[in-house]
Amino acid sequence: MTPREAFLRACALDVAVRKPGNVSLDAPGHGMQAAQFITSAAVAADALCAHGASVGSRIETAVQATRAAVGCNTNLGILLLCAPIARAAEDGSIPLRPAIEAVLAGLTVADAAAAYRGIALAQPGGLGQAQQQDVHQPPTVDLRAAMALAAEHDRIARQYRDGFAELFDLALPALPSGFSLPSLAPGSRPDAATVAAVQALYLLLLASRPDSHIVRKQGPAVAQNVMAAAQDWRARDAAATALDTDPAFAAWDAALKASGVNPGTTADLTVASLMLAGLLQPQRPRWHGS
């Protein structure tokens, strides 16, 4: 599967499955509709997967394309995570995990400058000012070093610092052995097994750490409460409860949106995990060491 195909399939699956607090085909929210996310993926794909382009350039040009098409930030976190993956996947001669590490190790100050411009253009919710390497100022360190400065309070930045370890070591092993990334027609929904796999992945990521986007916008206490709720829902899932047909699961989704609580970072990590899963499909069922 090409990086472009894996990216588009992951983005389509993201909105086809109800993930509480996030926009989906079943439930808009936060002033946005699922169609905006689908459009965003379509217009960003060429820039994100431009062969030979630098990571920073991919991020900046994909944000520009998204902003021009939908006029708001639907996918900044997705682009930040998926740009190094797309760059690494171009060289099929190297296993994907070490290839991503090599891409991250080679990031430059120019990558940081381009990524900063993309972040500033996207205007993500809750973006404040940083004491070091603020995105509104020209960077003086490479993009990985800049991300490392934010890694303790930003889960996307942590992936840059840690070589996407959380996705390889936590997220991918949680997917069932029969999982494959489906090709979905616009507006269509996947089968029940795929829905359950994506919801379980999302809940695992949401239950394991406070969501960075919630922390930025509503504070750590709200993020902790959402994390605790996700842990409870994981327990129900482990008890073979069909979450997607549970009215209480949909009610939790609605309640989060009514309160303006959006676990957006967790959704971004889910998309990146699904993209990795698509790229690694021929290597199944073993994820570790890929």
User: What are the extents of the domains in the chain?
Assistant: 3-189+265-283
Q: What is the pLDDT of residues 259-274, one digit of tens each?
A: 999 999 999 999 999 9
Q: What is the pLDDT of residues 246-258, one digit of tens each?
A: 999 999 999 999 9
Q: CB neighbours of 282 closer than 8 A, spacing ≥ 6?
A: none
* Averaged confidence pLDDT in the chain: 91
Q: Give the CA angle between residues 217, 222, 226 to the nearest 5°.
A: 115
Task: State the pLDDT confidence band at 19, using cuts at 50, 70 and 90.
Answer: very high
Rounded to whole angstroms, the Cα distance separating 123 from 100 reads 27
> What average pLDDT does this structure show over 49-53?
96
* pLDDT, position 92: 77
Rounded to whole angstroms, the Cα distance separating 247 from 156 reads 31
* pLDDT, position 186: 80
Rounded to whole angstroms, the Cα distance separating 61 from 118 reads 7
Which of residues 222 and 286 earns the better pLDDT score?
Answer: 222
Cβ atoms of residues 79 and 60 within 8 Å: no
**Residue 107: strand, helix, or coil:** coil
Which of residues 126 and 273 earns the better pLDDT score?
Answer: 273
Task: State the pLDDT confidence band at 128, using cuts at 50, 70 and 90.
Answer: very low
Residue 121 CA, distance from chain mean position: 18
Residue that the structure tokens 């404040």 belong to: 128
Task: State the pLDDT confidence band at 188, using cuts at 50, 70 and 90.
Answer: confident
* pLDDT, position 290: 44
Residue 286: is its pLDDT beyond 60?
Answer: no
- Reference 210, options 197, 198, 235, 228; nearest CA is 228
Phi (first) and psi of residue 32, to 5 degrees: -130, 155
Cβ atoms of residues 58 and 4 within 8 Å: no
- CA dihedral (144, 146, 148, 152) positive or negative: negative
| Omega of the bond leading into 285 within 30 degrees of 0 (cis) | yes
In this predicted structure, which of 160-169, 180-189, 197-206 has the lowest mean pLDDT?
180-189
Structure tokens at 77: 């976190």
Q: Which amino acid is at 237?
A: D
**DSSP for residue 288:** T
Phi (first) and psi of residue 100, to 5 degrees: -65, -40
Structure tokens at 256: 């989060």
Which of residues 47 and 126 earns the better pLDDT score?
Answer: 47
Task: State the pLDDT confidence band at 133, using cuts at 50, 70 and 90.
Answer: low
Cβ atoms of residues 267 and 156 within 8 Å: no
Q: What is the pTM of this model?
A: 0.91
